[in-house]
Amino acid sequence: MSAYLIIFFAGFAGSFHCIGMCGGFACALGRDPQGRGATVLRHLLYNTGRLTTYCFLGGLAGALGQLICTPQGTTVPLLSGSLDTGQRILAILAGLLMIAMALQFFGLLPRLHRITSGSGASTFAASLRSLLTAPGHAAPLAFGVFNGFLPCPLVYAFAAQAASTAGALPGFLTMAAFGLGTFPAMLLMGGVGRALAPAWRQRGVWLAGSCILLLGLVTVGRGILPFAVHFAHGWTEPA
């Protein structure tokens, strides 16, 4: 459970960093002329769309992890049992990837950012713009769904974490926790606009980086250390 909390916090902190891209969308989504209730609904739908995509990616990554670890496709205990070799390798890879992401958040790996949020993102985003101003409730939902697919290092980091859980359900829960973590900042952005001071964003970056680093180290540890079985048991079993 505590692992999901960390993920939630990483999502929360990371969403301040990601205000550059997603926050801009939330702002652009703006207020509904029909009043406060309609505005809240609009933003909730947008975020639900985003959450759906994150959950889907998480479930898919988890299922893929499961597929890699157990060729027979049978169930895998949610990290409460012993880890097999495939899962260990997967955990180490995912952990290393997350550590790399964290270092990039701290500005220590500048080149990675270009790879993770390439030029494709901007063209994709540009073609979605017409959705922002479209009327109706389906528009913000659709926009959120597409938004979830926008290349973003945070999403990659947690998709990797989801894959290392080697199960559709824990993968789904991982990304759901992450997605829910991004809710407060996004809703805030929709309501208050660009009110957040740059200093807060910087703090968010450090907090998110720390969370991802911690998770990355734990994940790598789970793959390497023999006692990690017990360690992981306490960390990642969902409530």
Give contact residues for another protein (rule: CB under 8 A): 49, 52-53, 55-56, 59-60, 62-63, 66, 73-76, 127-131, 133-134, 136, 138-139, 141-146, 167-169, 172
Close Cβ partners of 105 (under 8 Å, ≥ 6 residues apart): 17, 153, 205, 206, 208, 209, 212
Provide the terminal-to-terminal Cα distance of the chain, rounded to the nearest Å: 6
Nearer to another protein, 104 or 147 (CB): 147
Close Cβ partners of 8 (under 8 Å, ≥ 6 residues apart): 177, 178, 180, 181
Nearer to another protein, 94 or 145 (CB): 145
Nearer to another protein, 104 or 161 (CB): 161
Nearer to another protein, 56 or 231 (CB): 56
Q: How many CA atoms lie within 13 A of 111 on its CB side?
A: 0
Nearer to another protein, 76 or 154 (CB): 76
Close Cβ partners of 146 (under 8 Å, ≥ 6 residues apart): 49, 53, 124, 128, 131
Shortest CB 141 distance to another protein, Å? 6
Nearer to another protein, 61 or 232 (CB): 61
Shortest CB 41 distance to another protein, Å? 16
Q: How far is CA 137 from CA 111, 112, 119, 144, 202, in A?
A: 39, 37, 29, 12, 34
Shortest CB 63 distance to another protein, Å? 5
CA 218, chain centre distance (Å): 17
Shortest CB 148 distance to another protein, Å? 9
Shortest CB 88 distance to another protein, Å? 20
Shortest CB 197 distance to another protein, Å? 32
* Token reading at 30: 């703006």
